């Protein structure tokens, strides 16, 4: 997909709403992997949708849209421009009152830590167990939660002894680069040799991610490929 096609067909908006077919979603995700600039557009649209959804739940969106924005004798073009300003101001008001100063936590070793920057506890929506060996496809697929907070628990089998410590990095990946999104400095395996992590389903944009577990003893890292899909 090229930028013109994505814009004309409102692909990003339909992708986040889960309205693309499987073939269209796969084609768009391949474009995201090859062109990370589109991933930033997806993140901006997702945040905008979240902002308007919160305003609607609070009953403020209808009030903003109902406000008179220009005298009746003004030209329609100025009326439309003023309406856009009203919506922008409403969204900025939401950002100032609802979003904490610090960014949302994307990855944590416990659900409490994942919720530390949220106004209320983040609900656990999914639990996934991942084997150590990775094939050609993703080790796990998670559904993004755009309009409501949610978390997924990942149980990562390492084959290591209980109490083995790892530094963990969450990387957004495309065909050429891997960009660090979040880190957990220290996590230890449980009695079964598994590491437990909690990932935000509403703050991590759709796309492909790599979870890299680097042992404290200097052994080679263990990697798991995660695909975040929009909710459908």
Report the CATH number that the domain containing residue 178 is assigned in CATH: 2.60.40.1930
pLDDT at 73 over 70: no
Strand partners, 54: none
Question: Residues 100-145: pLDDT tens digits?
Answer: 445 678 999 999 999 988 888 899 999 999 875 555 567 888 988 8
Shared domain for 134 and 224, answered yes or no, is yes
Angstrom distance (rounded) from CA 231 to CA 147: 10
Shared domain for 71 and 123, answered yes or no, is no
With cut-offs at 50, 70 and 90, classify the pLDDT of residue 30. Answer: confident
Tell me, what's the pLDDT at 153?
Answer: 95
Shared domain for 31 and 88, answered yes or no, is yes
User: How many domains would you assign to the chain?
Assistant: 2
Shared domain for 31 and 129, answered yes or no, is no
With cut-offs at 50, 70 and 90, classify the pLDDT of residue 63. Answer: low
Dihedral sign of CA atoms 87, 90, 96, 97 in order: negative
Candidate ranges 11-20, 28-37, 64-73, 102-111; pick with highest mean pLDDT: 102-111
**Cβ atoms 104, 47 nearer than 8 A:** no
Q: Residue 211 class from Cβ within 10 Å (0-12 exposed, 13-18 middle, 19+ buried)?
A: buried
Shared domain for 191 and 121, answered yes or no, is yes
Angstrom distance (rounded) from CA 55 to CA 61: 5
Question: Residues 189-232: pLDDT tens digits?
Answer: 999 999 999 999 988 888 889 999 999 988 899 999 998 888 76
**Higher model confidence: residue 96 or residue 197?**
197
Q: Is 159 left (phi over 0), alpha (psi -120 to 50) or beta?
A: left
Shared domain for 62 and 91, answered yes or no, is yes
Shared domain for 222 and 115, answered yes or no, is yes
Residue 32 CA to chain centroid, in angstroms? 14
Looking at 98, 127, 143, the residue that finishes a domain is 98
Question: Residues 133-185: pLDDT tens digits?
Answer: 555 567 888 988 867 889 999 999 998 999 999 999 999 987 677 889 999 99
Shared domain for 30 and 115, answered yes or no, is no
Domain of residue 58 covers 3-98
pLDDT at 56 over 70: no
Shared domain for 74 and 162, answered yes or no, is no
Shared domain for 76 and 114, answered yes or no, is no
Looking at 48, 78, 98, the residue that finishes a domain is 98
Reduced to 3 states, what is the DSSP secondary structure of residue 93?
helix
Looking at 43, 78, 98, the residue that finishes a domain is 98
Shared domain for 86 and 119, answered yes or no, is no
CB under 8 Å to 181, separation ≥6 — which residues?
Answer: 106, 107, 170, 171, 172, 204, 209
Cα separations in angstroms, 95 against 17, 18, 101, 106, 114: 22, 25, 10, 19, 20
Shared domain for 116 and 48, answered yes or no, is no
């Amino acid at each position: 997909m090229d930028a013109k096609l994505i814009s004309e067909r409102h692909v990003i908006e339909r992708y986040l709403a889960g309205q693309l077919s499987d073939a269209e979603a796969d084609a768009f995700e391949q474009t995201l992997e090859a062109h990370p600039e589109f991933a930033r557009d997806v993140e901006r649209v997702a945040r905008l949708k979240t902002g308007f959804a919160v305003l609607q739940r609070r009953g403020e969106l209808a009030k903003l849209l109902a406000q008179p924005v220009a005298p009746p004798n003004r030209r329609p073009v100025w009326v439309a421009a003023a309406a856009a300003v009203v919506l922008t101001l409403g969204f900025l008001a939401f950002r100032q009152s609802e979003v904490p100063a610090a960014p949302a936590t994307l990855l944590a070793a416990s659900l409490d830590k994942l919720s530390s920057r949220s106004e209320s506890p983040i609900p656990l929506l999914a639990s996934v167990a991942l084997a150590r060996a990775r094939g050609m496809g993703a080790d796990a697929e998670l559904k993004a939660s755009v309009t409501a907070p949610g978390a997924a628990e990942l149980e990562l089998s390492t084959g290591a002894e209980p109490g083995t410590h790892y530094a963990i990095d969450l990387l957004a990946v495309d065909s050429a680069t891997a960009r660090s999104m979040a880190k957990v400095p220290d996590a230890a395996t449980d009695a079964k040799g598994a590491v437990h992590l909690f990932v935000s389903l509403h703050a991590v944009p759709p796309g492909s991610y790599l979870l890299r577990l680097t042992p404290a003893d200097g052994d080679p890292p263990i990697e798991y490929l995660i695909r975040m899909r929009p909710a459908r």
